[in-house]
């Protein structure tokens, strides 16, 4: 609901703004969120088989399917699926990860600010750090660092410390760029180098 509110009235020229998700503009990220909300457990398995078990290919297919010529129509489709409870065969915490990361994929390039409940971000971050990069998580990215949330009592791992708001830590371990100065600590150079190197 919050993202719908943030995007209502967005200027037509802004929909082509590059998102934080490499290769997608903000309109395409929204289409991905529509697709994810429409995907059932059984449907996900069938699509994954059809894509040759290539997650990126499957995601691209879903975006193509849900992307309307008029961004306002994609936004209307997003509004229509907000109440759906269908989900791919993955822990429910992945829905939080999707909402936070893709929400910021859209908001940050558009300079739209949004506050999140720290406890919910902590749940998403903890799950993401347990999930391997092969499955879209950030476990390997965080290895060798101690991540400390500055907006809640959250810490993970061992090694040189990286401190920052949990939403920024979540974006970082998801491979997204984080604004300079948002993360601090002696472990930042090595941590950001691992992010830049990719999975």
CATH number of the domain that residue 169 is part of:
3.30.1050
**pLDDT given for residue 143 in this prediction:** 92
Residues 12 and 95 placed together within one structural domain of the fold: yes
Placement of tokens 């409940």 in the chain: 117
Residues 31 and 53 placed together within one structural domain of the fold: yes
Question: How many distinct structural domains can be found in the chain?
Answer: 2
Domain that holds residue 105: 2-110
Give domain status of residue 168, yes or no.
yes
What is the overall mean pLDDT for the chain? 89
Give domain status of residue 40, yes or no.
yes
Give domain status of residue 170, yes or no.
yes
Give domain status of residue 162, yes or no.
yes
**DSSP-derived secondary structure letter, 136:** T
pLDDT digits 0-9 by tens, 94-124: 889 999 999 999 999 999 999 999 999 999 9
Residues 179 and 158 placed together within one structural domain of the fold: yes
> 119: buried, middle or exposed (CB in 10 Å: 19+, 13-18, 0-12)?
exposed
Q: Could you tell me if 59 and 34 are in contact, meaning their C-beta atoms sit under 8 angstroms apart?
A: no
Residues 6 and 94 placed together within one structural domain of the fold: yes
- Tell me: pLDDT of 85 over 90: no
Taking the C-alpha atoms of residue 61 and residue 46, their distance in angstroms, rounded to an integer, is 13
What tokens appear for 96 in the block? 């939080």
Give domain status of residue 115, yes or no.
no
DSSP strand pairing (145-149 vs 154-156):
antiparallel
Residues in contact with 98: Cβ distance below 8 Å, sequence separation at least 6, in sequence order: 33, 36
Residues 145 and 164 placed together within one structural domain of the fold: yes
Bigger pLDDT: 157 vs 89: 157
Q: Could you tell me if 101 and 71 are in contact, meaning their C-beta atoms sit under 8 angstroms apart?
A: no
pTM (2 d.p.): 0.88
Residues 104 and 11 placed together within one structural domain of the fold: yes
Give the chain's length: 199
Give domain status of residue 160, yes or no.
yes
Select from 61, 86, 110 the last residue of a domain: 110
């Amino acid at each position: 609901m919050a993202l719908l509110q943030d995007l209502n009235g967005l200027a037509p020229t802004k929909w082509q703004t590059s998102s934080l998700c490499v290769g997608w503009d903000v309109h395409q990220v929204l289409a991905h969120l529509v697709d994810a909300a429409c995907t059932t457990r059984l449907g996900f398995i069938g699509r994954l088989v059809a894509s040759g078990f290539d997650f990126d290919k499957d995601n691209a297919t879903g975006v193509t399917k849900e992307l309307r010529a008029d961004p306002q129509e994609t936004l209307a489709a997003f509004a229509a699926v907000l109440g759906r409870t269908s989900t791919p065969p993955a822990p429910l915490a992945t829905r939080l990860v999707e909402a936070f990361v893709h929400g910021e994929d859209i908001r940050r390039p558009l300079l739209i600010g949004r506050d999140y409940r720290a406890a919910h971000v902590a749940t998403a971050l903890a799950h993401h750090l347990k999930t391997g990069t092969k499955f879209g998580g950030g476990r390997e990215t965080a290895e060798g660092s101690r991540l400390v949330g500055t907006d809640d009592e959250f810490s993970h791992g061992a090694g040189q410390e990286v401190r920052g708001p949990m939403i920024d830590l979540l974006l970082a371990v998801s491979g997204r760029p984080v604004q300079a100065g948002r993360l601090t600590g002696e472990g930042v150079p090595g941590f950001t180098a691992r992010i830049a190197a990719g999975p």
